[in-house]
Amino acid sequence: MRPRTPLALAVAALLVLLGPPLLTSGSGEATGTQIPGLQFMVPNSPGGGYDITARTAAKNIEDEDLNNNVEVYNLDGAGGTVGLTALINDRGNEKLAMSMGLGVVGAQRTNDTDSRLSQTTPIARLTEEPDIVVVPKNSKYKTFNQLLKDWKARPGKMPVGGGSSPGGPDHLAPMLMAREAGITPKDVNYVPFDGGGELLASILGGKVAFGVSGVGEYLDQIKSGDLRVLAVTSPKPHPGLDAPTLKETGLDVEFTNWRGIVAPPGLSDADRDRLIKLFDRLHDSAAWRESLKKNGWTDAYMTGAKFGDFLDAQDKRVVSVLKELDL
Amino acid sequence: MTTLTKAPEDALPPEGRRSWLKEHSELGLCALLAVLGILVLTDALTMDDHFAQRGPVGPQAVPTVVGIALLLVAALLTADVLRGGKGEAETGEDVDLDTPAEWRTVLMLAGVFLGNAVLIGIVGFPISGALLFWGAAYVLGSRNLTRDPLIAAALSLATYVVFNNLLGVPLPGGPLMGVL
Amino acid sequence: MDSLTSLMDGFGTALTPINILWAAVGVLLGTAIGVLPGIGPAMAVALLLPVTYGLDPTAAFIMFAGIYYGGMFGGSTTSILLNTPGESAAVVAAMEGNPMAKSGRGSQALAAAAVGHFIGGIIGTCLLVALAPVVADLAVDIGAPDYFAIMVLAFIAVTSVLGKSRIRGFASLLIGLTLGLVGMDQMTGQQRLTFGSLHLSDGIDVIIVAVGLFAIGEALWVAAHLKSGGDGAIPVGRPWLDKKDLKRTWKPWLRGPVIGFPFGAIPAGGAEIPTFLSYVTEKRLSKHKDEWGKGAIEGVAGPESTASASAAGTLVSMLTLGLPTTAVAAVMLAAFQQYGIQPGPLLFEREPDLVWGLIASLFVGMVLLLVLNLPLAPVWAKLLRIPRPYLYAGIMFFAAVGAYAVSGEALDLFILLIIGLIGLAMRRYGLPVLPAVIGVILGPAAENQMRRALQISDGSLTGLVNSPFAVTVYAIVALILAWPWVRKLLPARRTEERAEERV
């Protein structure tokens, strides 16, 4: 062994040991809303709904100097439950928050996991979005009730297209409608599609009898007249959409998809309040209002314990639907 | 077709049964395919019937077909091997099929990779990555104890910085993260 | 004519010095990041999204276009040189590209890929300009039964890559199909072969399978049989394509877009299946059949041109319908929304400057890609000059980084190793690896489309054949299958050769 060898080994060891901490900022004390090294975890893939929410929020937070730097990363898998499990395992990490929504509520039930949203620290609900019932422009259905009549008569022959797997928002909405209309949810012919692209093509091409989707995704196709909206699922009519609510058509169903933020379990009250305060300030900012408008999101701000109760209620609703389907 | 299965036992005493097995080691692959087939079939048959299924094809159908096909191919391949058929080992620029296979090297290389998979969560990426590179280079015959660790450490650290700091893809930093 | 004037205006936008600069920056960044393990074009665009926040929308999208094409090319570079495809569209390029690189023809392989990307991209973008509305209308009519019919055709095509021993080829295909079964069944949410692991419920990514079988399997196999005195470096060879190469590549380059563009435009098309079909077609048509598997340049040129043209096809559905057909398109769609732009049927009317500027910048980006990367090909190829132990250690290292970076799960590394060991066994016993990769790609897609078709028809088997397109494809399949018998009935030898071409 040459004398240089031990030296080389020492240098190599120092490099890999000391390099990362010295090159990475992220330590330091939190002051005000500033949380150095704050990270947003996105439990689905780049370009998905939670991803856009998290990246928009992070950008606005940085723009408004609420926090110097927010790192967004994706941990995709099993409808969000992989991310959820990672979040729950990162107990007490006050520099982490996860974007999530109704889809994760369903996924935690349909996937074989013990991770529950009730274990997390609820921070805030940010936005909500109703689902819409759409048909292509050449469909024979002009009103929701015409559609409902046929749907009731032969549910098997009326394939319903949706962008989420069983248990997800686009699946829950038609199931709730069916239940209220007296159709056995098990008879509903729900056809899941991978994301919005293939679904849109199938609706436009008349492959499915009707589609159920978030209102934001197909605004342009609706405006151009390629798609016709028969109903929205929200309690109030959606601004800019010439379509009745389900209630107005006589079907007593209200359904809105929503997105929010949760943090790992085991946070101190001070840490939790700091995160809530950060989102309070974000919610009050002009940049966020601008983002809401750009993305066509409806503000549905709600924080802390109230949001926690809301999560519980949503979970119960999802469970009740899935039970009827034996899922 | 190729000589590689024969080569290793040149040193061994001629022992009928053993060399027959050596000669027909491809039967191990047949067994593997059969096991895989049984696994797939068991998984398919133990699945519950499901609500959302419509029509003749449910979640079990395709696995059942694949499982049966695996068993069939395993049987056909066994017959082929017993009749003296042999798969041609792949050639390549860096591959010398005339020398006996060094399975020890393969085991060590796989071990180094396994070590990285186990260590990455414990000691962080820069250390486990450097050990992976150095270990793999060592196993493959590089013995420069001065240059190798330095290259390994520099490569690993550079990769860490590019992914973690420049691109924002988080990698575990190691035991001293947050201490310094 | 209308689109031509608009396109000219678009060039006016794209050819300002500052926008050329953004396109160049995009191409370089995209290539650089696409080369990194585990980061495909979708991740590259997502990661670089923040970089563009400060730019105006037109400049941002010009940069994106550069990143997209650059990322695709970067993915092929590692695929060819290191046998580690960075994205699924580049998997096929490794089949012939890597043997070429190993035998000292790395720069030719890269050049064939670069020119292929250029030609495929240019033709694809021209088709985009000329045909966008027509293609978009047709794309919507393609449904589940049609997809399934195409998959059946692709399965028939697999038989031509089974290798010398059919039974071993089938074994390989079945290994791939088995790996493809792992995960949650998309139609019913049923878990299959996940053994209770949440992480497995999304299935095994085709990249993990390809990198495991190709890179790890190869490294282990080389370890078993490393040539003694193997520390001599791989020769880099001549830097350019010579006449002989060009004679063999120009047709594959031109055929690529024919296959790639329509696949890119349809909603469930993507680039994996067309690149594979291009590979098979070129293999059938090649006059150098003995070289296949050892580095036939047609096998790089065709699939790469196809991949690039399919990217252009993707933009058709995205710009005209707001339909994201690939992950990259989904990310770009999200980026559009960040700027308050809703892509969809009205985009061409509402934002003509942006759209035509973007399309023009695709041309500009493609030229830049070629200009920047062709001279770089020999430089990249020199990478193989490093001593064998470092080279294979580096491949193991990068394969590990790529697998880990995507999800941060050590489990992926174990899966990678297991698949690598399968790859080793396959090499040892002469099982070809390509059918396994194809099985992983085709298996789940075919199953989903078939079951979706049956579900839409409420279980009636007619749901599989109720579209003229599907019927046509099945007729072609029947013809291919029946051909050996039909041929026997025909006396002349001439027909035989023509038959080869038709298939």
Query: What does the pLDDT look like over C216-240, one tens digit per residue?
Result: 998 898 888 876 554 455 665 566 7
How confident is residue C242, by pLDDT bands cut at 50, 70 and 90? confident
pTM over 0.90: no
Residue among B114, B136, B167 whose CB faces C417 most closely: B114
Asked if residue B179 is part of any domain, the answer here is no
Q: Are residues C490 and C402 in the same domain?
A: no
* Closest chain A residue to the Cα of C45, Cα to Cα: A46
Q: Are residues C395 and C410 in the same domain?
A: yes
The DSSP secondary-structure symbol of C291 reads G
Using the predicted structure, report yes or no on whether residue A202 has a pLDDT greater than 80. Answer: yes
Q: Are residues C121 and C235 in the same domain?
A: yes
Please give, rounded to a whole number of angstroms, the shortest distance from the CA of A305 to a CA of chain B: 31
Q: Residue C420: its chain B contacts at CB < 8 A? A: 110, 113
Q: Taking residues C343-367, what's their average pLDDT?
A: 79
User: Which backbone phi and psi does A228 adopt, to 5 degrees?
Assistant: -115, 130
Q: Are residues B14 and B59 in the same domain?
A: yes
The CATH superfamily label for domain A129-256 reads Periplasmic binding protein-like II (3.40.190.10)
Tens-digit pLDDT profile for residues A35-73: 777 889 988 877 677 888 888 888 888 888 888 778 888
Using the predicted structure, report yes or no on whether residue C45 has a pLDDT greater than 90. Answer: no
Tens-digit pLDDT profile for residues C7-21: 888 888 778 888 888
Q: Residue B85: its chain C contacts at CB < 8 A? A: 165
Whether C119 and chain B come into contact, CB under 8 Å, resolves to no
How confident is residue C437, by pLDDT bands cut at 50, 70 and 90? confident
Q: Are residues B78 and B120 in the same domain?
A: no
How confident is residue B1, by pLDDT bands cut at 50, 70 and 90? very low
Using the predicted structure, report yes or no on whether residue C346 has a pLDDT greater than 80. Answer: no
Q: Are residues C425 and C476 in the same domain?
A: no
Using the predicted structure, report yes or no on whether residue C405 has a pLDDT greater than 90. Answer: no
Task: Determine the structural domain holding residue B142 and report its residue range.
Answer: 103-166
Q: Are residues C99 and C164 in the same domain?
A: yes
Residue B145 C-alpha from the chain's centroid: 28
Q: Are residues C373 and C495 in the same domain?
A: no
The reported pLDDT for the residue numbered A210 is 93
The DSSP secondary-structure symbol of A235 reads S
The reported pLDDT for the residue numbered B37 is 93
Residue among C140, C329, C407 whose CB faces A77 most closely: C407
A31-128+258-324 with A129-256: one CATH topology? yes
Tens-digit pLDDT profile for residues C148-191: 998 888 888 888 778 778 889 899 999 999 999 998 787 777 78
Task: Determine the structural domain holding residue C199 and report its residue range.
Answer: 2-466
Q: Are residues B72 and B120 in the same domain?
A: no
- Which range of B156-165, C284-293, C304-313, C376-385 scores highest in mean pLDDT? It is C304-313
Contact C175, C443 (CB under 8 A): no
The DSSP secondary-structure symbol of A31 reads B
Q: Are residues C203 and C230 in the same domain?
A: yes
The reported pLDDT for the residue numbered B56 is 67
- Which range of B122-126, B165-169, C232-236, C488-492 scores highest in mean pLDDT? It is B122-126
Whether B167 and chain A come into contact, CB under 8 Å, resolves to no
The reported pLDDT for the residue numbered C76 is 86
CB atoms B126 and A156 under 8 Å: no
Hey, which residues 99-158 in chain A have their CB within 8 Å of chain B? Answer: 156
How confident is residue B110, by pLDDT bands cut at 50, 70 and 90? very high
Hey, which residues 59-78 in chain A have their CB within 8 Å of chain B? Answer: 71-73
This model of the complex carries an ipTM of 0.86
The reported pLDDT for the residue numbered B7 is 42
**Top-confidence residue, C208 or A47:** C208
Q: Residue C189: its chain B contacts at CB < 8 A? A: 50, 52
Q: Taking residues A163-172, what's their average pLDDT?
A: 84
Asked if residue B65 is part of any domain, the answer here is yes
The reported pLDDT for the residue numbered C235 is 60
Tens-digit pLDDT profile for residues A275-284: 898 898 899 9
Asked if residue B145 is part of any domain, the answer here is yes
Q: Round the average pLDDT of chain B to a whole number and report it.
A: 80
Q: Angle at Cα C394 formed by Cα C392 and Cα C396, nearest 5°? A: 70
Residue among A165, A198, A220 whose CB faces C342 most closely: A220
Q: Are residues C497 and C351 in the same domain?
A: no
Percent of chain A at pLDDT exceeding 90: 16
Count CB-CB contacts under 10 A for residue A305.
Answer: 8
Tens-digit pLDDT profile for residues B49-71: 655 555 567 888 899 999 999 99
Q: Are residues C370 and C358 in the same domain?
A: yes
How many residues are there in chain C? Answer: 503
Lowest mean pLDDT among B45-49, C29-33, C106-110, C372-376: B45-49
3-state secondary structure of B56: coil
The reported pLDDT for the residue numbered C305 is 92
Looking at the structure of chain C, the number of domains it has is 2
The reported pLDDT for the residue numbered A60 is 86
Domain's final residue, options B30, B47, B82: B82
Looking at the structure of chain B, the number of domains it has is 2
Which of 3.40.50.300, 3.40.50.2300, 3.20.20.70, 3.40.190.150 is the CATH number of A31-128+258-324? 3.40.190.150
Whether A10 and chain B come into contact, CB under 8 Å, resolves to no
Whether C472 and chain A come into contact, CB under 8 Å, resolves to no
Q: Which of C91, C40, C99, C68 is closest to C332 using CA atoms? A: C68
Q: Are residues C29 and C49 in the same domain?
A: yes
Angle subtended by helix axes A144-153 and A169-181, to nearest 10 = 80
Q: Taking residues A96-106, what's their average pLDDT?
A: 90
The reported pLDDT for the residue numbered C289 is 80
Q: Round the average pLDDT of chain A to a whole number and report it.
A: 84
CB atoms B140 and C431 under 8 Å: no
Q: Residue B130: its chain C contacts at CB < 8 A? A: none
DSSP for C295-335 reads --THHHHHHHHHHHHHHHHHHHHHHHH----SHHHHHHHHH
How confident is residue A321, by pLDDT bands cut at 50, 70 and 90? confident
Contacts of residue C457, Cβ cutoff 8 Å, sequence gap at least 6: B55, C463, C464, C466
The reported pLDDT for the residue numbered C236 is 57
Percent of chain A at pLDDT exceeding 70: 94
Hey, which residues 242-271 in chain C have their CB within 8 Å of chain B? Answer: none
Identity of the amino acid at B69: A
Q: Are residues B73 and B20 in the same domain?
A: yes
Please give, rounded to a whole number of angstroms, the shortest distance from the CA of B64 to a CA of chain A: 23
Q: Are residues C346 and C495 in the same domain?
A: no
Lowest mean pLDDT among B104-108, C75-79, C132-136: C132-136
Q: Are residues C442 and C488 in the same domain?
A: no
Residue among C221, C390, C392 whose CB faces B90 most closely: C221
The reported pLDDT for the residue numbered A33 is 63
Q: Taking residues C27-40, what's their average pLDDT?
A: 79
Hey, which residues 98-127 in chain B have their CB within 8 Å of chain A? Answer: 124, 126-127
Q: Is A119 exposed, middle or buried (0-12, 13-18, 19+ CB in 10 A)?
A: middle
Whether C290 and chain B come into contact, CB under 8 Å, resolves to no
Tens-digit pLDDT profile for residues B10-49: 444 556 667 777 777 888 889 999 999 999 999 888 876 6
Query: Which residues share a beta bridge with A74?
Result: A42
The reported pLDDT for the residue numbered A230 is 92
CB atoms A21 and B168 under 8 Å: no
How confident is residue C423, by pLDDT bands cut at 50, 70 and 90? very high
Please list the alpha-helical segments (H only) found in B46-102.
61-82
Tens-digit pLDDT profile for residues C445-502: 889 888 888 888 887 888 888 888 889 889 988 888 888 788 777 765 554 444 444 4
Contact B126, A20 (CB under 8 A): yes
Q: Are residues B74 and B124 in the same domain?
A: no
